[in-house]
Amino acid sequence: MTNREQVLERALNLSSEDRRFLIGRLQKSLDESNHSTDEVRAAWSNEVDRRLDAYDRGEVPAVDAEIAMREMRRQLEERRTGASRPSVTFTEAV
């Protein structure tokens, strides 16, 4: 058994409170070690601004949130099952 398998086995035997604590600490260590976090935030901020500007100029149609969520769920289910069903495009839904 590898070291990480041993660590995983021991972690899975912890109480749920201790596992939550461990998850939090591991996540924090990943966040701290990710040197590109500021760059990623800046990139997403620029992307949001770009999309909002396109919407304001009328280049991108608005989509009802319920329709968008239904379509995303359908696509997710399709990916999970490999089944393909006819879809409604966002432009048709508006």
Model confidence over 16-39: pLDDT tens digits?
999 999 999 998 888 766 666 778
Q: What is the pLDDT of residue 28?
A: 85
Please list the alpha-helical segments (H only) found in 1-94: 3-12, 16-33, 37-56, 65-81, 90-93
Q: Which two tokens stand for residue 46?
A: 């620029």
Q: Which residue has the higher pLDDT, 74 or 40?
A: 74
Q: What pLDDT sits at residue 90? A: 56
Contact assessment for residue 63 and residue 94, using Cβ atoms and an 8 Å cutoff = yes
Instruction: Please report the pLDDT score of residue 84 as a whole number.
Output: 64
- Is the distance from CB of 90 to CB of 71 less than 8 angstroms? yes
Q: Which of 31, 12, 32 is nearest to 22 (CA)?
A: 12
Sequence-ordered list of residues with C-beta below 8 angstroms from that of 84, at least 6 positions apart, any chain:
78
Secondary structure element (H or E) that encloses residue 63, with its range: none
